[in-house]
Amino acid sequence: MADKLTLEQIRALTLEELQTEIEDNRYESYMLRLNKVSGELKNTNLLRANKRYLARLKTVQSERLRGTQQPKNEGK
């Protein structure tokens, strides 16, 4: 499983990079589900972690599209 980005790193991505990361994560989720069904996946917690990471990515994407995300340096 690839290293996951922190929330700050996710927020620093462009919309195109964010979309690519979401697509990659969906494919990884698909492969994890296939491995679980076939009995190859021993650590089923990876499914949960992958699902939560996808939720983080989609939350940041949604914030950007709605325009509710605060600029990083606004409070300083």
Model confidence at 1, in pLDDT bands (50, 70, 90)? very low
Per-residue pLDDT, averaged over 23-38, amounts to 96
28 closest CA partner among 10, 3, 63, 64: 3
Domain that residue 35 falls in: 24-61
Give the whole-angstrom CA distance, residue 32 versus residue 3: 15
Q: Is residue 45 part of a domain?
A: yes
Model confidence at 71, in pLDDT bands (50, 70, 90)? low
Q: Is residue 57 part of a domain?
A: yes
- Whole-angstrom CA distances from 38 to 35, 41, 51 are 5, 8, 19
Mean pLDDT of the chain: 89
Structurally, the chain folds into a number of domains equal to 1
Q: Is residue 32 part of a domain?
A: yes
| pLDDT of amino acid 2 | 55
Supply the pTM of this predicted model.
0.80
Give the whole-angstrom CA distance, residue 27 versus residue 37: 16
Higher pLDDT, 68 or 2: 68
